Amino acid sequence: MTGISSVVGAKGLMQVMPETADWVAPQVGLKEFKLADPLDNLKMGTWYLNYTHGEWDGNSMLAIASYNAGPGNVADWVTRFKNEDVDSFVEKIPFPETRGYVEKVFENYWNYMRLYNPDMAELMAKYDPARSPVAGR
C-alpha cells in the first residue's frame, strides 16, 4: 500500500496531496515525513480530515467534500448552491470524482451504521424495511 498514487498526485492510503502534507506536517509535529510511510500518511490524513470537520462546524458532508476537492472549491459551492438540502447539494457538486466520493463515503457510512448500530438499524428499517439487517431472513 505504500506505492498508492492518484493521477493528480495524491499519495498513500489517505490520498494526501504533497502540498497538503507540507502544510499539515508542522501541525502534527513532523519535521520530516514520507507520504509513502503508512504511519506518516495516516497521521496527516486523519489530522486533515479532523481539520476539515472543524472548518465546517462538524458538517461531515462538507468535510468529506473538502478533503477530496479542497476547501476553496467547497466554499465556492456553498456560496453558489446555498447548502439548504444535502441531497440537492451533492447532486450539484461539479466535480464528478468528488460527487461520487461523497456519495460512496456516506453509502458506506450508512451501511456500517445499519449493520453495527442496532438503534440505527431499527430506525432505518422503520423507513425502509428492505434495508433492514434482517431483511430476507
Domain boundaries, the chain: 1-55, 59-137
Mean pLDDT of 81-92: 86
DSSP symbol at 103: H
**Short-list 79, 24, 33, CA closest to 52:** 24
The band of 46, judged by pLDDT with boundaries at 50, 70 and 90, is very high
Mean pLDDT of 24-36: 94
Mean pLDDT of 15-22: 95
The band of 47, judged by pLDDT with boundaries at 50, 70 and 90, is very high
pLDDT of residue 135: 47
The band of 131, judged by pLDDT with boundaries at 50, 70 and 90, is low
Give phi and psi for 92, each to the nearest 5.
Answer: -90, -10
Would you call 21 exposed, middle or buried from its count of C-beta atoms within 10 A (0-12, 13-18, 19+)? buried
**Short-list 25, 23, 1, CA closest to 12:** 1
Cell of 29: 509535529
pLDDT of residue 2: 60
CATH of domain 59-137: 1.10.530.10
Separation of CA 85 from chain center: 18
What's this model's pTM, rounded to 2 decimal places? 0.80
Collapsing DSSP to helix, strand or coil, 11 comes out as strand
